[in-house]
Structure 1
Amino acid sequence: MGLLVRAMTADDCDAVAAVRIGGWRWAYAGLMPQAYLDAMSVEEDAADQRARLNGTGTTDSRVVNVVAERAGTVVGWGCLGPCRDPDVPDGAGELYALYVGPGHVSTGVGRALARTLVERAAVDGFSSLVLWVLKENDRARRFYEKAGFTPDGAEEPFDVGGALVPEVRYARSLTRAG
C-alpha cells in the first residue's frame, strides 16, 4: 500500500502520541528503565502535542512536524527545527524525533520520513542537521548512518526517570537539494 508523508495536523495528535509511545516502548526496551516506559501516557503525550501545535506550548515557528500515513492510518512521525545545542554552529537544524509504529519498522516508513525531513531542513535553509540517539541503540544508529549521518564525537547522558542513559550526537551537512 502507498505511503503518504504530509504535514501533521491537530487531528493527528492522538495517533502521533500512540506511535511515539509505542516506538519508545519497542525501541528502548532494555535500554531504559521499564518502569519509565510503562508509565508513559498516550493521553498526556497527545495533550502535549496539541498544545505545541496550537501555539500554547513552547515551540519555535520553524519547527516542522510530519506524519507518515498508510491507508489512512498514521504509522510514523518526525519533527525537526533549529538546533538546541550551543556548541553547534549557527544555521544548524536538529532532528528532534523520528518514530515508526512497531508494526511498521523496516517497511520504508522511517526512510520516507528521514528523506522528507532532510529535504525540508535543506529547503528551510539549515546548513546541517544533527540528532541525538541512544548510544546502545544499534538499530537506530545503523538507520541514521544509512541516511547519511555520522557521529560527531559529542556524547551526553540523558536522564530517564533517574537513570542516566548515554546518547551520542550524529550530524550531516545539507545542500539546497538535501
Structure 2
Amino acid sequence: MSEPIEVEVRPAKERDAKVIAEIQAAAAQAAFKAQFPGEPMPEFDSLKKSQAYWREAIEFADPQVLVAVADGEVVGFVGFDRSRDPKTPATMGEIWALYARPSHWDKGVGLALWDAARDGLIDEGCTKVTAWVPLGYERALRFFDMAGFKREMTSIKTVLVGLTRIEEIRFKRDLK
C-alpha cells in the first residue's frame, strides 16, 4: 500500500453528486482497462444520468452515501443500505458502491469508507453485509478479501455493462 493519507468521512451533500459520478466513471474505466487491456470501453451511463442518480440517492438516503475527503477534496464514496437481493432478511446490509479516485488507490480511502459504512449498517440494525464485485476486478476482489468478506461461489451471475458481459460474485461477512 502507498503512504496512507488522512481521510475524513462525512455524509454526502447534494452538491457532491457531480464529483461522485466523476469518481465512479474514472474508477470503473481504470478497472475495466486493467481487466480488458486493449479492448474498447463499454458505454457506461452518462455522467449526467449518473449525477442525477447520486443526487437523488443523497436526497432520499437510498442508499445512504458517505464521501471521503482528503485535503478538502472528495476522493471517494460509498453507498450502502439494506440488501437489494431478493429474499434476504431485514438484517442483511449491502455495499451498493465503493469507489475511490484512481489517483488515491492504495492510500486508505477504501478502508476509511468501509469502516464508516460498517458503522452505519450496524446502527441500522444489520448483522451481515454483502457486496457484488466483478470477477475480473482484481483490486476490488483483493480489497473485499482483506476486509474479511468471504466469496459465495454459488452466487456468480452475468450482468451487462453496455454491450460487455461481466461476471459478478457476491461477497458476504458478519458485521460483528
- TM-score band (shorter)? 0.7 to 0.9
User: Per the alignment, in what secondary structure is the counterpart of residue 68 of structure 1?
Assistant: strand
Match of 1:96 in 2: 96
**Runs of at least 5 residues in structure 2 that lack an aligned partner in the other structure:** none
Match of 2:162 in 1: 161
* Alpha-carbon separation, structure 2, partners of 1:68 and 1:112: 7
**Runs of at least 5 residues in structure 1 that lack an aligned partner in the other structure:** none
With over 3 angstroms needed to count, the CA separation of the structure-2 counterparts of 1:148 and 1:41, relative to structure 1, is same
* Alpha-carbon separation, structure 2, partners of 1:85 and 1:162: 24
Runs of 4+ in 1 over 6 A off after TM superposition: none
With over 3 angstroms needed to count, the CA separation of the structure-2 counterparts of 1:106 and 1:69, relative to structure 1, is same
Deviations 1:42-94, CA, capped at 9 Å, x for gaps: 23321222233334xxx74xx31000001111000101011111253442011
Code of the residue aligned with 1:5 in structure 2: it is V
* Alpha-carbon separation, structure 1, partners of 2:41 and 2:31: 15
With over 3 angstroms needed to count, the CA separation of the structure-2 counterparts of 1:152 and 1:88, relative to structure 1, is farther
Match of 1:52 in 2: 57
The sequence identity of aligned pairs, in percent, is 28
Q: How does 1:73-88 map to 2 (within 5 A)?
A: 73-88=73-88
Code of the residue aligned with 1:113 in structure 2: it is L
Code of the residue aligned with 1:9 in structure 2: it is K
Q: Once the 2 structures are TM-superposed, how far is the Cα of residue 20 of structure 1 from its aligned partner?
A: 0.8
Normalising by structure 2, we get a TM-score of 0.87
Total equivalences in the alignment: 169
> Which among 16, 20, 28 is matched to residue 32 of structure 2?
28
Q: Once the 2 structures are TM-superposed, how far is the Cα of residue 30 of structure 1 from its aligned partner?
A: 5.0
Normalising by structure 1, we get a TM-score of 0.86
> Which among 7, 12, 18 is matched to residue 8 of structure 1?
12
Q: Once the 2 structures are TM-superposed, how far is the Cα of residue 172 of structure 1 from its aligned partner?
A: 0.4
Match of 2:108 in 1: 108
